[in-house]
């Protein structure tokens, strides 16, 4: 006899809503003749709405972007189209040092070319043809910007998703502005830790949140291993293969976390020195991987990698416009110069403008037919905001770094040269020549000057570098170690010693470690998550015995088989409309078979030199004084 069991709705996933499973049978009889073509359907509108909502794969993504930025770099330029719009530090009567106009950073440029119609006057309308004179107004000195091009010239928006990962992504971490304290590693090697000899302990401090807990284990690499299994090898940790035979000599118990400073438990771990073999020495920086079970090292050791994104929309798939009826907390900075450096009078210049813009991806997105880096349908996509630099005033493409690559007083060697350039964008550039312009009767010829800007990223472009991530197979969960950041700098020269914009971005005396190959600049987070579905925070399991088949039917896409525990494991996919007590879940407006997903983004464009909150995040209660967030 086949054994069957009725499962309550609460068993579908943890804390699911209860449902009435009883079917009420009426005793009275009500019969009507059902004719051909008639339908007799009893509908529960609530259940029908819920069913249609969870079957729908269509999502409409829109929202607001608020630019949070202050233009802080003042410098010099010899390029007259830029000089005429420079926000001078004075009123135009003194030095010509100034700030690049905000339009070079804006989501919506306002220096657009417009047509102005001046009607011709006549004595009688019927006797003279009144033909208006069309004049073009607007700044055309460097390039021409129309109203249609204005939202797409400096920045472009795309939808992307994580379709791959890279454990061999090269990363550099430095302890100072010189080249003596440079440590190179791959993303798969783990998290960097600074080592401190602290009495009976080695204290390891990470520049980002390490994700380790007291009682867990850390597998170290990246230092000089002078004693291996009692035999001196002189090898470095990272040259010894991580296998079950060797990693047991490099795995250490975490005795405690933190150092007594507020929030330090997220960044500091302490390991007893007696954990180490006699003769073991550690360098000033080591790399660590998390392990939760010393008896199952291979199954509980986290893997580390960077996300790789793939675009699913193009530049033409979204629209952008101003937000109406919004007053910013910050003020605009603009003024009228009595006379600019070129002798023009009453010139309006702008240093900062507090922008809020609306974006709307015109087409609905179908969450179907794609898989993420873990092999199942993604539960999130990303609004990707990428610098386009169509005017060519900045070095391009941008370089990619992580939180620990930005420091308060020096520039990280991770950005030196071209190693950290976003390689997926290296071919997406365009070059153009300057113009001949006339200002107050003086002619300036820049046709021999070449500028390099960006182009549109095509649909389907893959390999875009995203966040630095830890994944633990035992927990079936990714943890974001650090978001990816794009970094770009002003191009200092256009030819020889002719300055495009020089604010001493390559002078090592203003910011340690800078050079023409590694200039200070700006950085921002390009990828912003949009949650579409929610996986349960609880892991479900099913054990197979000898009477069951080797596979289960209708396992979720994210299921894996644990060979050590002989269990199938997965995380349930929550229904739309269900939100648990911890706030996990999705509840989007649903209409016309479409989920409407709003995503508001605070877009921080930071000045690398003047933003002084780039340290580990370990702060005492009195350590917030004299902080500058620019």
Which pLDDT value is given to residue 9?
Answer: 54
pLDDT in tens, 305-359: 999 999 999 999 999 999 988 777 788 999 988 888 888 888 899 999 989 999 9
pLDDT band at 33 (very low <50, low <70, confident <90, very high): low
Per-residue pLDDT, averaged over 579-584, amounts to 90
Give CA angle at 271 (267, 277), nearest 5°. 140
Rounded mean pLDDT of 479-495? 95
Contact residues for 132 (Cβ-Cβ < 8 A; gap 6+): 117, 118, 119, 120
Average pLDDT on 548-571 reads 80
Give the domain ranges of the chain: 183-301, 535-573
Measured from the Cβ of residue 421, the count of other Cβ atoms closer than 10 Å reads 18
What pLDDT is recorded for position 242? 47
Lowest-confidence pick of 102-116, 173-187, 423-437? 173-187
DSSP labels for 365-393?
A: EE--S---TTSS--SEEEEEEEE--TT--
Rank 114-128, 188-202, 532-546 by mean pLDDT and report only the highest. 188-202
Question: Taking Cα atoms as reference points, which of 110, 130, 112, 132 lies closest to residue 122?
Answer: 130
Percent of the chain with pLDDT over 90: 56
pLDDT of residue 221: 85
pLDDT > 70 fraction of the chain, expressed in percent and rounded: 80
- Give the least confident one: 28-37, 273-282, 532-541: 28-37
Q: What is the pLDDT of residue 628?
A: 47
pLDDT digits (tens, 9 = 90+) for 213-231: 999 999 998 755 433 443 4
pLDDT for 562 beyond 70: yes
User: What residues contact residue 37 under an 8 Å CB cut-off, 6+ apart?
Assistant: none
Q: Is the pLDDT assigned to residue 360 strictly greater than 50?
A: yes
pLDDT of residue 161: 97
How sure is the predictor about 241, in pLDDT bands with cuts at 50, 70 and 90? Answer: very low
Q: At 409, phi and psi to the nearest 5? A: -130, -5
Residues 6+ apart with CB under 8 A from 108: 150, 151, 320, 321, 322, 355, 357
46 confidence band (pLDDT: 50, 70, 90): confident
- The CA distance from 161 to 380, in Å, is 7
Please give the angle made by the CA atoms of 560, 563 and 566, to the nearest 5 degrees.
Answer: 90
Query: Over the stretch 53-85, which tens digit does the pLDDT of each residue have?
Result: 999 999 999 999 999 999 999 999 999 999 999
Rounded Cα–Cα distance for residues 449 and 494 (Å): 7
Indicate whether 605 pLDDT > 70: yes
pLDDT attached to residue 19? 65
What is the arithmetic mean of pLDDT over 159-185?
Answer: 89
Distance of CA 223 to the CA centre of its chain: 31
pLDDT of residue 153: 94
The reported pLDDT for the residue numbered 552 is: 64
Q: What is the pTM of this model?
A: 0.88
Q: What is the mean pLDDT of residues 550-569?
A: 82
Whole-angstrom Cα distance, residue 418 to residue 423?
Answer: 9
What six digits make up the tokens of 330? Answer: 């910050």
pLDDT value, residue 405: 93
Give me the chain's average pLDDT, please: 85
Instruction: Indicate the pLDDT class of residue 238, thresholds 50, 70 and 90.
Output: very low
Query: pLDDT band for position 607 (50/70/90)?
Result: very high
């Amino acid at each position: 006899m086949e054994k069957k069991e009725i499962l309550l709705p609460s068993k579908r996933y943890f804390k699911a809503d209860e449902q009435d499973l009883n079917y009420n049978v009426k005793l009275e009889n009500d019969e009507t003749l059902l004719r051909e073509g008639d339908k007799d359907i009893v509908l529960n509108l609530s259940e029908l709405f819920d069913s249609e909502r969870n079957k729908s794969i269509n999502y409409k993504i829109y929202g607001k972007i608020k630019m949070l930025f202050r233009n802080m770099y003042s410098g010099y330029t010899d390029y007259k189209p830029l000089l005429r719009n420079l926000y001078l530090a004075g009123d135009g009567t003194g030095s010509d040092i100034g700030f690049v106009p905000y339009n070079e950073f804006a989501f919506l440029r306002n220096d657009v070319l417009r047509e102005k119609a001046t009607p011709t006057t006549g004595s009688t309308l019927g006797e003279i043809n009144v033909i208006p004179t069309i004049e073009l107004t607007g700044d055309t000195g460097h390039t021409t910007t129309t109203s249609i091009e204005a939202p797409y010239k400096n920045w472009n928006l795309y939808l992307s998703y994580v379709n791959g990962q890279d454990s061999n992504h090269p990363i550099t971490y430095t302890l100072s502005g010189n080249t003596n304290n440079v440590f190179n590693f791959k993303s798969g090697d783990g998290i960097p830790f600074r080592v401190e000899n602290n009495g009976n302990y080695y204290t390891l401090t990470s520049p980002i949140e390490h994700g380790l807990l007291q009682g867990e284990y850390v597998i170290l690499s990246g230092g000089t291993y002078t004693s291996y299994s009692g035999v001196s090898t002189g090898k470095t940790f990272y040259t010894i293969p991580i296998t079950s035979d060797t990693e047991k000599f490099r795995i250490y118990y975490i005795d405690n976390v933190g150092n007594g400073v507020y929030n330090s438990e997220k960044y500091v771990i302490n390991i007893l020195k007696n954990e180490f073999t006699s003769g073991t020495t550690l360098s000033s920086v080591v790399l660590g991987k998390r392990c939760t079970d010393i008896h199952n090292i291979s199954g509980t050791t986290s893997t580390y990698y960077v996300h790789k994104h793939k675009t699913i929309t193009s530049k033409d798939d979204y629209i952008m416009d101003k937000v109406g009826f919004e007053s910013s907390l910050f003020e605009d900075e603009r003024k009228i110069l009595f006379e600019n450096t070129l002798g023009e009078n009453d010139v309006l210049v702008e240093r900062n403008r507090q922008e809020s813009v609306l974006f709307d991806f015109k087409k609905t997105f179908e969450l179907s037919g794609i898989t993420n880096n873990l092999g199942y349908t993604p539960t999130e996509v990303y609004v990707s905001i990428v610098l386009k630099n169509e005017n060519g005033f900045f070095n391009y493409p941008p370089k990619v770094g992580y939180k620990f690559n930005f420091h308060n007083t020096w520039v990280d060697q991770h950005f030196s040269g071209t190693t950290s350039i976003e390689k997926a964008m290296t071919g997406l550039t365009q070059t153009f020549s300057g113009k001949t312009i006339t200002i107050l009767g003086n002619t300036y010829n820049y046709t021999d000057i070449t500028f390099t800007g960006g182009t549109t990223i095509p649909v389907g472009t893959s390999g875009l570098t995203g966040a630095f991530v830890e994944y633990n197979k035992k927990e079936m969960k990714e943890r974001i170690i650090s978001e990816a950041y794009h970094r770009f700098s002003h191009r200092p020269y256009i030819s020889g010693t002719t300055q495009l914009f020089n604010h001493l971005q390559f002078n090592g005396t203003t910011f340690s470690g800078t050079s023409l190959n590694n200039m200070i600049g700006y950085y921002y987070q390009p990828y912003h998550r949009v949650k579409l579905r929610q996986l349960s925070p609880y892991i479900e399991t099913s054990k197979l015995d000898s009477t069951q088949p080797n596979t289960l039917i209708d396992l979720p896409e994210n299921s894996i088989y644990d060979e050590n525990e002989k269990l199938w494991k997965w995380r349930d996919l929550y229904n739309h409309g269900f939100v648990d007590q911890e706030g996990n879940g999705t509840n989007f407006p649903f209409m016309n078979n479409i989920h409407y997903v709003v995503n508001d983004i605070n877009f921080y464009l930071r000045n690398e030199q003047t933003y002084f909150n780039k340290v580990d995040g370990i702060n005492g209660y009195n350590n917030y004084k004299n902080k500058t967030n620019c």
